[in-house]
Structure 1
Amino acid sequence: MDLGIDPDQLGTCVQCGLCLSSCPTYRVTGDETFSPRGRIALMRQVQLHDAPLTTEVTEAFDTCIQCLGCEPACPSVVPYGHFIESTRNALTEHRGSRRRAIALWPLTKPRLLRLGSSLLAVAQRLRLVPARLGLPNRLPLRRRPHRSSGTDVYLFTGCVMDAWQREVHFATQRVLEAAGFGVTPTGDAAGCCGALHTHAGLAAHGERLTENIDAALDPAIPVIVNSAGCGAHLKQHSSHQIFDAQEFLAEHLDRLPDVTPLEVNVAVQDPCHLRHVQRAHLPTRTLLRKYVSAVTELDDDGLCCGAGGAYSVLQPDMSQQVRERKLASINRAQPEVVASANPGCSMHLSAAGVKTEHPMVLVDRALAANSSTT
């Protein structure tokens, strides 16, 4: 079966095993099949030797979280992310893509998504929604409208995050404005970025959604993204200037007001797509150190939390096993709050009882506390 991978690229993996300790599914199972090295070996067998797609083979591919922690660890610079993305796409075509496309279709319809989210919020208040689904504790029934304050930067609002965590967008916009930037929220003009489609093996759908965003926005205006997964996808596939929110503000730290930091001990949980794909996790610390009294590092070297976009829904058992390792690291650090710059990560950890906040919310809170005392 052709997985769409260049055979020469498949040969770049020398099977050294340095990726193993960075792979969350290998760490929890100890099974080579659930490691990058094992999965690449299976890709070679399927593509080069026409090995059958047994249940064991497809399970190995399906259980990859696509955290890409293996890529920075690889001395041969193997493009594992391209391998697994291409493999997922080939598998989806082989199995049929209709069910996945239908499941993700609401993400491309902002009004329908918001309506469905409001109905879900009603069900949540009636205690009809199981807590194990990992939804925010209190989904909003209504959302205040976005407003534009200028055209220095776009604030990418996306799909699910805008429906469920719009307050994070408002906080991000206030911080950008405090730094002197006029902000235009993208709103419905540029909705879903296509990241979840691409991860689900619907690459063509993902590309079309990214192309829609590029067509809707002025390429001369920087696009600020406060969701690590969306930001990583857009940096890889968009032709526009894409910046993570913390990354952008850390470069303009001198434009932000000096205030009394919040008296809180914050542990930073690095979303995988911020740390391993964007390689832009350090600015989160730069920014937070100016606005909170203590920033604590976790001792797990940025190991994945197990959220993985829709992974926690599709692979709940493996996702929860991976999360247990993250929870153990958080418990050892004993922070008052965990800062996570990705909605999927924050919801996944919150479902396990961890108090989480987006870094932009913490900075906004510090700025607001200062303004209320002056």
Structure 2
Amino acid sequence: MPENKSERLAALADQCVQCGLCLPVCPTYALDGNEAESPRGRIAIAAALARGLAPVTAELREPLDHCLGCLSCERVCPAQVRFGELLVETRAVLGPAPRRPRLLLAMAKRPSWLRLVHRLARWLGLSRWHRQLARRLPGRSALRAALGIASVSTGGPARKPFAAAAAGARLAMFPGCMASIEDADAQQAAMRLLAAAGHAVALLPSFCCGALDAHGGEARASTQAMQRVRKAWQGSGAEGLVTVTPGCLGQLRAALPGVTVSDPYHLLGVAGTALRFRPLPMRVALHLPCTQLNLARSSEVLLALLHRVPGLEVVPLPPRCCGAAGSHLLEFPERAARLREATLESIEMLAPQSVLSSNIGCRLHLAAGMAERGRAVPTMHPLVLLAQQLIEGNSP
């Protein structure tokens, strides 16, 4: 390991005071009851690797590969350890995990490929026969997990380009890669809501921000994606960046230091009475993704917005990681399924008419799990619900 990188990792690891306050909030520690599968254990492993005290073995790197990057530990850490930064930099040194499904991730990162996959799945009638094929594949198969997700995916509506206002857009919307297809309706909903709140928004081209690569140890590809983000941002002439996918936030902020990068909820929350909504007598379960809780930190303002819809009963699900975690659901599908169980049980107990979640990976992962249980419950991005109930003619 180059000396400058090893010194950097050692310095990040040395911030940890080994207090253990991170253990109760770590989903993988709860799953395994193993110190190595805790933030404290992973920091110790990273420190040993950085100082050359241990060789890189499959057994040693496995806990680092298992980490979900949920950042729950970082939020409760009294020493303010930058665990997310430590994890990404350690994985960059280790390189991609052996079980990383490169072809499937390449499809997810390329919107044109993903559109083709959706057309092919509809033509083949995947939703009718995927379970028969999945049963023939082992539980650890990435293809089996991908088939489950594809079977509950609609592919989203056609993406409609939005032009900047005549005076120039003050905000730019980053569509992402997979989200630009699967969450196209959420992006259009965000545009409509932001416009009603008085914000002109321009839509950037759709491509991967590099988050999947950064968390998968693909440092070079991540750097190239960040350069593309900066180029697109500079061409927009905007002052702030928004995305409907909280999983992109950390990577976008790293690519654009000094730029305000957020999800739309904070901007919509300060709109006050400019946004009014039609009544909707419905009971919904709200799933709060880890990135929204620990990175965007917009859960409270989202709840406030949903409570402004008359008649809407919103029941937040217990805050726990569902196991999707970017590429984790493909790399470790059995672990992802085990992590998902508690959330699925909560949904069944609540018996909602719909499940809301701001993260497309979480939403598909939960929908696939509910379908396996034979309890299909509609899932939706919260912005789509808000836009559907928006009263036209609002003025900021």
State if a TM-score over 0.5 links the two structures.
Answer: yes
Report the CA distance between 1:358 and its aligned residue: 0.6
Gaps of 5+ in 2: 135-144, 371-376
Secondary structure at 1:291's aligned position in 2? coil
Shift of 1:351: 0.8
Query: Residues 78 and 270 (structure 1 numbering): CA distance in 2 closer, same or farther, change over 3 Å?
Result: same
For residue 13 of structure 1, the aligned residue among 13, 16, 19 is: 16
State the AA in 2 paired with 1:359. Answer: P
Q: CA deviation at 1:105?
A: 4.1
The separation in 1 between residues aligned to 2:157 and 2:386, in whole angstroms, is: 24
Q: Is the CA contact (8 Å cut-off) linking 2:9 and 2:46 kept in structure 1? A: no
In 2, the alpha carbon distance for the partners of 1:331 and 1:109 equals 34
Amino acid at match of 1:67: C
- 1:340 corresponds to: 357
What do residues 52-110 of structure 1 show as CA deviations (whole Å, max 9, x unaligned)?
223221211111111111111111111111111111111117x799x876654445644
Q: Is 1:355 aligned to 2:378, yes or no?
A: yes
2:218 alignment partner, one of 191, 202, 208: 202
What do you get for the CA RMSD once the two structures are aligned? 2.7
Using structure 1 for the length normalisation, give the TM-score: 0.87
Distance, in Å, in 2 between the alignment partners of 1:87 and 1:100 is 20
Q: How does 1:16-95 map to 2 (within 5 A)?
A: 16-92=19-95
Larger CA deviation: 57-66 vs 142-151: 142-151
- What code does the residue aligned with 2:383 have? M
Per-residue deviation at 1:196? Answer: 0.8
Q: Does 1:243 align with 2:262?
A: yes
Alignment of structure 1 residues 101-180 onto 2, 5 Å: 104-106=105-107, 109-125=110-126, 127=128, 129-130=130-131, 132=145, 133-135=148-150, 137-140=152-155, 143-148=158-163, 150=165, 151-180=169-198
Q: Do the aligned residues in 1 keep the contact of 2:205 with 2:232 (CA within 8 Å)?
A: no
Matched to 2:121, the amino acid is: L
The 1:8/1:182 distance shift into structure 2, 3 A limit, reads closer
Counterpart secondary structure, 2:249? helix
C-alpha displacement at 1:261, in angstroms?
A: 2.9
Q: Are 1:281 and 2:299 matched, yes or no?
A: yes
After superposition, the Cα gap between the structure-2 partners of 1:104 and 1:219, relative to the gap in structure 1 and judged at 3 Å, is farther
**TM-fit CA distance, 1:367:** 1.8
Contact 2:101 2:331 in 1 (8 A): no
Q: Write the distance in 2 (CA, Å) between the matches of 1:338 and 1:50.
A: 47
AA in 1 matched with 2:41: G
Change (3 A) 1:363 1:106: same
Is the Cα–Cα contact under 8 Å of residues 253 and 287 in structure 1 kept in the other structure? no
- Distance in 2 between residues matched to 1:181 and 1:264, nearest whole Å: 29
Question: Unpaired segments of 5 or more residues in structure 1?
Answer: none
1:262 equivalent in structure 2 = 280
